[in-house]
Chains A and B, each alone.
Chain A
Amino acid sequence: MIETFRTLIAYTFKEHIRHRLYLSLFLFGFILLMGGLVISALAVEQRGRMMLDLGFSAIEFLGLTTIVFVSVNLVLSEIENRTIYLVVSRPLARWQYIVARFIGTTLAVALSMAVMALLHAVLLLPYTGVISASTYVMAWLCSVAKLTVVGSLALALSLLTTSAPTAMTFTFFLWAIGHFSQEVRFLGEKSAHMGVKALVWFFYHVAPDFSYFNYRDFFYTATPPTWAWGLSLGVYAFSYTAICLWIASVVFSKREF
């Protein structure tokens, strides 16, 4: 069983890195990073900071686009092409299929983000003192963790809605809400109405809190986060992803082929 699981992960990984969309987004990422060299000149004395922020944003934006498009179509395209029949006839539990496909996708996206980060780090070399290597790696890891949660959300939504455009729209909406979570909490605190407070509490806890994954926002602050934050963030990312995969597996198991 483990062998089949591993084969499925490897198959998904190769499928993605050979995909035209993946390669074109990858190329776009390179262009965006190189373009950062020109754009950052406008920031004059803050060129290093601009290069850093623009690079992080470009890497995350392209990772986001890739993982949403790929995750949403991960199972839906197989259902549409009817290749899913070949898979479900194999001695592999449906949840294992979902998890293996998801891991393969996440690895492919993480690889593209790693290559882009490597190029970004090379471009940052002349700007000494802008960021330390360990801080950069931490910011990159947080970005990958964030996109892992987004990928699992997109996959669960694609199976729940069975429509790629709807799933993508909901995923991007949740991405925005996830960065808005502190504002949502603030609104809840300001409201005197109990119904509004309850609704806000629900959204605040159920919607993913993506703003807390932005380590790149925190290292500028007076007191950067501690290891306790990193540990709880890791557990949060893992449990949120696992819940989404659980939902995706249950929905997929109930489908009849």
Chain B
Amino acid sequence: MPQKSALAILAVLVTLMLGSFQAMHKAYPWPYPPMSHLIAERTGLQDAALITAGFRPLAADIAWIQLLQYVGGWILPGEQEVSRYLLLKDMTLRVTRIDPYFRQVYLYSAGMLAFFRNIDRPDEALEVLGEGIRTNPQFWPLRVTVAAIGFMRGEEFEPMVRLLEDVIAHPDCPPVTKSILANAYKAHHRDADARRIWELILGDPNAGMYHDKARREIVEIDTRQLLTPKI
């Protein structure tokens, strides 16, 4: 090929490459936060390495598994007290800073932080939800959970459960929120409602971990109703 035409082809290709590069970035602005936003204290190298290798969702999935392991009793180095899950907020934000669109994680941890009696840190729950709302403004269960936490703090049971009923109707709602609602009904002696939610959990194939508990709770409710003398 003559040198002149080869150079002309190269010039066309470089122009095409630079033009399409600009067009690509203009058509779709980068949707993820910079790496400086990562929670890098304990697992920064693992997360950064996976992101740099091009496996961002996988990095978030592994961080999610590590969050579940933590909740399941895995004690982190340097941590003394596991029962209050002091690192729950940080571990949640670690997952969501890698993938801010992993929406279920916000609901999962906010539910635990706000509604679990042994944790009871609604401020941290609101912080987690606030970050979720900023990146997922259209995902309404996050806003509804914020309102439910507000009612819980004001000890207004009725409006709180009404809002949580809305949240659990969303297909992306984690089973932990359903179990929180069922337990709230149980605490207020509303057995029929609690039974309805446990049945809902039993019918959810993603809630396998809660199925045994749901069966036990249903049996307990049924036994209680049998033993209660009818007036």
List 5 A-B residue pairs with CB atoms under 8 Å apart, sorted by A's residue number: A43-B61, A43-B64, A183-B35, A221-B101, A233-B24
For residue A214, CB closer than 8 A to chain B, the reply is: yes
Whether A175 sits at the interface, judged by CB under 8 Å, is yes
- Tell me whether A220 is interfacial, beta carbon within 8 Å: yes
| Chain A interface, number of residues (Cβ within 8 angstroms) | 55
* Chain A residues whose C-beta falls within 8 Å of the C-beta of B171 in the assembled complex: 129
User: A225-244 toward B: CB 8 Å interface, digit per residue (1/0)?
Assistant: 11011011101101110110
Q: Is A186 in contact with B20, judged by CB distance below 8 angstroms? A: no
Q: Chain B, 13-33, contact with A by CB distance < 8 Å: what is the 0/1 string?
A: 110111111011101101110
Does chain B have a CB within 8 A of A95?
Answer: yes
Asked if B208 CB lies within 8 Å of chain A CBs, one says yes
Please choose the segment from A3-11, A50-58, A80-88 that sits at the chain B interface, where 4 or more of its residues have CB less than 8 A away: A50-58
Known contacts A60-B54, A214-B56, A242-B13: A45-B23 contact under CB 8 Å:
no
Given contacts A217-B57, A222-B137, contact A182 B30 (CB under 8 A): yes
Contacts of A47 in B (CB 8 A): 206
Give the contacting residue for A243; candidates B17, B99, B104, B136; CB below 8 A.
B17
Within 8 Å of chain B (Cβ to Cβ): is A49?
yes
15 more A-B residue pairs beyond the given contacts A175-B53, A205-B21, A236-B17, with a C-beta to C-beta distance below 8 A: A42-B65, A43-B65, A45-B104, A45-B174, A46-B64, A49-B61, A176-B53, A179-B53, A226-B27, A235-B16, A236-B21, A238-B16, A246-B6, A246-B13, A250-B6
**CB within 8 Å of A: which residues of B?**
1, 6, 9-10, 13-14, 16-21, 23-25, 27-28, 30-32, 34-36, 51-58, 61, 64-65, 68, 99, 101-102, 104, 135-139, 171, 174-175, 206-209
- Set of chain B residues within 8 Å of A44, measured between Cβ atoms: 68, 208-209
Q: Are B58 and A220 interface neighbours, CB within 8 A? A: no
* A179 and B10 contacting across the interface, CB-CB below 8 Å: no
Among residues of B, the one whose C-beta sits closest to the C-beta of A49 is: B61
Point out the residue from A54, A226, A233 that lies within 8 Å of B58, measured CB to CB. Answer: A54
Contact of A239 among B1, B13, B54, B65 (CB under 8 A): B13
Q: Is the CB of B57 within 8 A of A179?
A: no
CA distance A113 to B35 in the complex (A): 30
Name the residue of chain B whose CB is nearest to the CB of A143. B54
| Bound form: Cα–Cα A48–B217 in Å | 27
Q: A235-B16, A239-B13 are in contact. Are A229 and B27 (CB under 8 A)?
A: yes
Are A209 and B21 touching (Cβ within 8 A)? yes
Contacts of B6 in A (CB 8 A): 246, 250
Within the complex, the shortest CB–CB distance from B36 to chain A, in Å, comes to 8
Whether the pair A222, B101 counts as a contact (CB closer than 8 A) is yes
Measured in the bound complex, the distance between the Cα atoms of B113 and A83 in whole Å is 68
CA distance A198 to B173 in the complex (A): 47
Specify which of A49, A176, A228, A246 is in contact with B10 (CB 8 Å cutoff). Answer: A246
Query: Could you tell me which residues of chain A, from 61 to 79, have a CB within 8 Å of some CB in chain B?
Result: 61
CB proximity of B180 to chain A, nearest CB, Å: 14
Instruction: For the complex formed, measure the closest distance between the CB of B22 and the CB atoms of chain A, giving whole angstroms.
Output: 8
In contact, A217 and B56 (Cβ under 8 angstroms): yes
**A57 and B27 within 8 A (CB):** no
Decide if B14 touches A243 in the complex (CB within 8 Å).
yes
Give the contacting residue for B57; candidates A176, A220, A232; CB below 8 A.
Answer: A220
Complex CA–CA separation, A56 to B52 (angstroms): 16
Q: Please name all residues of chain A whose beta carbon is closer than 8 Å to the beta carbon of B51 when the two chains form the complex.
A: 179
Instruction: Give complex CA distance A225, B25 in Å.
Output: 11
Q: How far is the CB of B31 from chain A (nearest CB, A)?
A: 5
Name A205's contact: one of B16, B18, B58, B104 (CB within 8 Å): B18
Chain B residues with CB under 8 A of A170: none
CA distance A45 to B102 in the complex (A): 13
CB atoms of A46 and B104 under 8 A apart:
yes
> What is the bound-complex CA distance between A54 and B20, given in angstroms?
30
- Contacting residues, chain B, for A229 (C-beta < 8 A): 24, 27-28
1-59 of chain A: CB within 8 A of chain B: 42-50, 53-54, 56-57
Q: How far is the CB of A125 from chain B (nearest CB, A)?
A: 13
| Cross-chain contact A57 with B55 (CB below 8 angstroms) | yes
The 7 closest A-B pairs by CB, nearest first: A232-B23, A235-B20, A239-B17, A236-B20, A239-B16, A229-B27, A228-B27
- CB-based nearest A residue for B57: A53
Closest chain A residue to B176, Cβ basis: A45
Interchain CB contact under 8 A, A232 and B54: no
Cβ contacts under 8 Å, A217 to chain B:
32, 56-57
The answer for the CA separation of A212 and B17 in the assembled complex, in Å, is 14
